[in-house]
Amino acid sequence: MKIRYFDHAATTAVSEEVLNAMLPYFRKNYGNPSSMYEIARISKKAINEARAKVAHSINASPKEIYFTSCGSESDNLAIKGIAYANKEKGNHIITSKIEHNAVLNTCQRLEKQGYEITYLDVDEKGFVRLDELEDAIKDNTILITIMFANNEVGTIEPIEQISKIAKKHNIIFHTDAVQAIGNVRIDVKELDIDALSMSAHKFYGPKGVGALYVKSGINFQRIQDGGHQEMDKRAGTENVAEIVGMGKAIESVYRNFDERCNYLKDIRDYYINRVEREIPYAKLNGDRIKRLPGNANFSFKGLTGERILFNLDLNGICASAGSACATGSLLPSHVLSAMGITEELANSTLRTTFGEENTKEDIDFLVDCLKNIK
């Protein structure tokens, strides 16, 4: 049976180009980059080259890029690191109710340590309300952390306006861009972003490696003790092969960015149009225009997410009911709940996220399978 994969927001397959770039650093160029001999210097050079590629993709400086193990660690390092380093200035942080759990749980941890957190509501399409954001700012606000694009419904937040509000009040602005990298062009200088998180496995890189951008001059503390790697901000022997893979992946995904994104938008809209035309009990969640190119999130009234996924799996189709990080939870999606979607509809939701290997023939098969689920 042919496997049709429509869950690229959960993870992506490592591309052949990326795998080939990584392989030499498992056996041939295996030196520890902190050592002083030649094979160690080869590893160090490879890390620096990858750092430059990641920096170039968002118009940052290489010295502003710190490699981590994943997007969740990047969020933790950014939020905790900034909070701890700036606690003398204040203890108030603003975020939204639809953030990834890496952000929400980090903020909840900080609450237990005496920090004050404001969780902003969003509108019915998943957008942060800018007037409510500005109203939430206090004299002791030190950080605003709002995701670039939502991992479930694909809504792209008004990042430029959020950044301007933060700068107007001299507040540090961090964004979780794990879903946006590779799907949106991001210029951290143009958008005036202070910190940004990303993860390689969302754009055809390996799992187990991420990166954090922090603008020069922004004060943040390390949260992991050990050696002096990553410019003394993230201790631990560098994962050279995967860092190389991340550099190659981000270089590759932006090389043909416009062509790739236009293709994803085309098959996404083809899917949305077929579903809305042929399945009358389907409701699209999120904004129709300002959404990630490969994301389509529908609620199917009268069905359950579990039933939908079970039937699709029988036909070799991989999709999800929401964030892969929340799989196993019996509670409705916190994202859909924050958007005002009823529990019944939230529990009937299917998230499909398309990739460059998907075709319209694959979409036709998916829609035909959905129509047969009763």
pLDDT for 8-28, tens place per residue? 999 999 999 999 999 999 999
The pLDDT value recorded for residue 330 is 55
DSSP string, 57-84: HHT--GGGEEEESSHHHHHHHHHHHHHH
Percent of the chain with pLDDT over 70: 98
The pLDDT value recorded for residue 329 is 55
The pLDDT value recorded for residue 285 is 98
The pLDDT value recorded for residue 340 is 96
Q: Is 325 a catalytic residue?
A: yes
Q: What's the mean per-residue pLDDT of the chain?
A: 96
The pLDDT value recorded for residue 321 is 87
Question: Are 68 and 210 a contacting pair, CB within 8 Å?
Answer: yes
Question: In residues, how long is the chain?
Answer: 374
Q: Which of 70, 318, 325, 369 is catalytic?
A: 325
The pLDDT value recorded for residue 323 is 52
Placement of tokens 């990739």 in the chain:
355
Question: Are 29 and 222 a contacting pair, CB within 8 Å?
Answer: no
Question: Are 353 and 140 a contacting pair, CB within 8 Å?
Answer: no
Q: For residues 313, 319, 325 and 329, what is the CA-based torsion angle, rounded to 10 degrees?
A: -60
Q: Which CATH number fits domain 4-12+257-371: 3.30.300.160, 3.90.1150.10, 3.30.930.10, 2.40.37.10?
A: 3.90.1150.10
| pLDDT one-digit tens code per residue, 56-75 | 999 999 999 999 999 999 99
Contact partners, residue 368, CB within 8 Å, separation at least 6: none
Q: pLDDT tier at 342 (50, 70, 90 boundaries)?
A: very high
- Give me the half-sphere count of Cα atoms (radius 13 Å) on the Cβ side of residue 373: 27
Q: Which helix (H) or strand (E) holds 348?
A: none
Which comes out higher in pLDDT, residue 177 or 331? 177
- What are the residue boundaries of the structural domains of the chain, listed by start? 4-12+257-371, 16-255
Looking at the DSSP assignment, which residues form a beta bridge with residue 317? 4
CA distance 146 to 14: 28
Q: Is the pLDDT of residue 126 over 90?
A: yes
E-assigned strand segments in 274-371 = 282-285, 295-300, 317-318, 349-353
CA distance 25 to 32: 10
Percent of the chain with pLDDT over 90: 96
The pLDDT value recorded for residue 98 is 98
pTM for the full predicted model: 0.95
Q: Which CATH number fits domain 16-255: 3.40.640.10, 3.30.499.10, 3.10.20.600, 1.10.10.10?
A: 3.40.640.10
Question: Are 209 and 66 a contacting pair, CB within 8 Å?
Answer: no
| pLDDT one-digit tens code per residue, 300-328 | 999 999 999 999 999 999 999 865 555 55
| pLDDT one-digit tens code per residue, 236-277 | 999 999 999 999 999 999 999 999 999 999 999 999 999 999
Same fold across 4-12+257-371 and 16-255: no
Q: Which helix (H) or strand (E) holds 278?
A: helix 257-278
List Cα–Cα distances, 308 to 12, 39, 318, 339, in angstroms. Answer: 22, 51, 11, 22
